[in-house]
Homo-oligomer: A and B are copies of this chain.
Amino acid sequence: MKSSAYLDALIKKISKLPGIGPKSASRIAFHILGMHRDDVEGLARAMIELKRNTYTCSVCGGISDGGTCSICQDASRDRGLICVVEDAKDVLTIEGTGEFHGLFHVINGLISPLDGIGPDELNIGTLVAKCGQGSVREVILALNPSVEGDATSLYIARLIGSSGVTVTRIAHGLPVGADLEFADTATIIKSLEGRVKI
């Protein structure tokens, strides 16, 4: 039995969010109950505004607040360098490092014949068109090191290769701080293949 139907309703909705189980959901709901009313309304409004006011960037395919996202609009970024990522979340991850100053291109998925996703379902055509304009110097493929990621990287590399653009792939190997003893075989093989001269 629940003492409050409103509390019960919110806990159920929160527990549907990714990575949140029923215990965390109840903890968050009680936290919200204890928050100032303005802060609760601010959080609720932020959710609705995100949903209402964001669009897909017409240039890179990422998230934007208007037609073109602020990264694509930024004149200080290197327009000759494009980093290709699987989804808009990856843009945030790479931007979080503060070390990449080129542009992004979001392909919105990976080639996966088993799931019925072929190259035509992905945002690859516009990338090829960009590369054909002559201003792009290098395309960095930053897709996940999985069968689908590797297949998609290879596919894109072949498509763009003829346009004279350098195509690179992010390094796969041991993560910083990892222990060789506990690394899986596939990662060790990748780290040997990708060895660099020091």
Q: How far is the CB of A20 from chain B (nearest CB, A)?
A: 8
* Copies of this chain, tallied across the complex: 2
Q: Are A13 and B43 in contact (CB under 8 A)?
A: yes
Q: Is A160 interfacial (CB 8 A cutoff)?
A: no
CB within 8 A of A48: which of B18, B44, B89? B44
Instruction: Tell me the interface secondary structure of chain A in the complex.
Output: helix
CB within 8 A of A4: which of B5, B28, B33, B65? B65
CA distance A44 to B44 in the complex (A): 4
Q: Are A1 and B71 in contact (CB under 8 A)?
A: yes
CA distance A71 to B10 in the complex (A): 19
Which residue of the partner chain B has the closest CB to A87?
B30
Q: How far is the CB of A37 from chain B (nearest CB, A)?
A: 6
Q: Is A6 interfacial (CB 8 A cutoff)?
A: yes
Segment of A49-57, A112-120, A125-133, A181-189 in the binding face: A49-57
Q: Are A46 and B6 in contact (CB under 8 A)?
A: yes
Tell whether A89 pairs with B30 under 8 Å between CB atoms, given A10-B46, A41-B48, A50-B10. Answer: yes
What 3 pairs across the A-B complex have the smallest Cβ distances?
A: A44-B44, A3-B69, A10-B46
Q: Could you pull out 17 A-B pairs where Cβ atoms are within 8 angstroms?
A: A1-B95, A2-B92, A3-B57, A4-B65, A4-B69, A5-B65, A6-B50, A17-B31, A18-B27, A26-B89, A30-B88, A32-B50, A33-B63, A40-B47, A43-B44, A44-B45, A44-B48
